[in-house]
């Protein structure tokens, strides 16, 4: 399930508010976490790998 992990957003649609994550999934209307490190949800390993490879 999408809500089980924290994904890193790559882009967001202006039209419908959906987001594409670094791991390639489309989330219809993602919840925004201003302070993701305060969340108890684990980070998505695929998004983390894509983020470190991007640097």
CA atoms within 13 A on the CB side of 4: 3
The dihedral over CA atoms of 37, 33, 7, 20, expressed in degrees to the nearest 10, equals -150
Average pLDDT over residues 6-29: 87
pLDDT top residue among 32 and 47: 47
Q: Which domain holds residue 25?
A: 2-54
Residue 31 has a pLDDT of 67
What is the pTM assigned to this prediction? 0.68
- The average confidence (pLDDT) of the chain is 79
Structural domain total, the chain: 1
Residue 23 has a pLDDT of 92
Beta bridge partners of 11: 20
Residue 1 has a pLDDT of 43
């Amino acid at each position: 399930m999408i809500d089980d992990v924290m994904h890193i957003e790559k882009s967001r649609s202006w039209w419908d508010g959906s987001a594409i994550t670094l791991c390639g999934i489309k989330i219809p209307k993602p919840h925004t976490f201003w302070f993701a490190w305060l969340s108890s949800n684990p980070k998505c390993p695929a998004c983390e790998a894509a983020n470190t490879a991007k640097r």
